[in-house]
Amino acid sequence: MKTTRAALADGRELIYFDHDDAPERATLDRRDLPEVSSASELRWDPLLREWVMMASHRQARTFQPPVEQCPLCPSRDGYLSEVPADDYGVVVFENRFPSLSTHATAGTSAVHPLVEVRPGLGRCEVVCFSSDHDASFADLSVADAGLVVDAWVHRTAELSAIEGVEQVFCFESRGEEIGVTLSHPHGQVYAYPFVTPRTARIRESALAYRQETGADLQTDLLRAELEDGARVVAASDHWAAFVPAAARWPVEVHLYPRRRVRTLAELDAAERVDLAEIYLDLLNRFDRLYDRPLPYIAAWHQGVVHDADDLDYLHLELFSIRRSADKLKYLASSESGMGAFITDSLPEATAQRLRDV
């Protein structure tokens, strides 16, 4: 893999990720762009003990533009996009409408005596998986999917080294039903200045389990799923995918490396290649489930930057809100109001359907 760095017209960083035999990519951004807003701030919720990101400038972000104005497509004669080159393999650049910024300054010094306010320091990046606007991740070859994996690894390592960053989150949201604002195949990376609530909860559970049993919670969860087999969807030399026994979403699969590592950056070469293959297999199973593209969220749960207790275990949570060919799962009052999920299908049945396709 080779990388090429560039600076966009407003100072944001862009990085091309290409196979070794790819041509050189254009780096000059010929647009006249306004300064990127850095007015992101964090506010502490004292009831839930969670940080909330405030980024009002994101109201102006691009929303479902026509194909000929897609900002993630390569630049061409008559149209300049976020990507200066006329083609690319994978490209990563800082988000033009970031929720977090390395230049953030809190706009409010105090809003409430119990609500701490901090600058929203961090970084938000866009990861374009392909220059083909009509493609999806599932359409990639194993080699090109591997290039995305390598980009995730690269960004995880580099962003984790930024002072103040506590966790790096690689993810993809696909489908208008999910709320995606750009249809070009892409994902994002967030570098948070705090440990996210979901990760903090998992870490608390892992610590309690270790204190009770002396063992690792997620290692034992994976072992039990493999031994039972009823919810396993796919498995390879280095990875295993299963529907969790207490799945919340209509279609939900967790993907774990068999060797316990904390982050994508800790995967070896064989594990990365194997990941590209099994991930493509899972995405294709999702799309064959109802013979139509399935809206989904793919969320990489990586270890926190400072993990003195060694509690974390890298894994992917891949899930969809589509509960049948023509119905969506909405977060109703129990889920939205109280955080108590109601699942309409048994995980064992979902796993069987995914194996069958």
Following DSSP, what letter does each residue of 252-321 receive, concatenated? EEEEEESS--SSGGG--HHHHHHHHHHHHHHHHHHHHHTTSPPPEEEEEE---S--TT-----EEEEEES
Catalytic residue among 19, 103, 186, 301: 186
**Sequence-ordered strand ranges (E) for the chain:** 2-7, 13-18, 41-45, 50-54, 90-94, 117-119, 123-128, 167-174, 186-192, 232-235, 239-242, 251-257, 296-301, 315-320, 322-324, 327-328
Angle, to 10 degrees, between the axis of helix 269-289 and the axis of helix 142-160? 120
Cα 77 from Cα 58, distance rounded (Å): 29
Q: Is the Cβ–Cβ distance between 190 and 99 less than 8 Å?
A: yes
State the maximum Cα–Cα separation within the chain, in Å, rounded to a whole number: 64
Cα 308 from Cα 328, distance rounded (Å): 41
Known binding residues for Zn(2+) are 70, 73, 133, 184
Question: Among candidates 349, 89, 327, 119, which has minimal Cα distance to 233?
Answer: 349
Other beta carbons within 10 Å of 357: 13
Question: Among candidates 271, 194, 261, which has minimal Cα distance to 40?
Answer: 194
What are 44's strand-pairing partners? 51
Amino acid at 351: A
Cα 221 from Cα 232, distance rounded (Å): 12
Task: Decide if 186 is catalytic.
Answer: yes
Catalytic residue IDs: 186
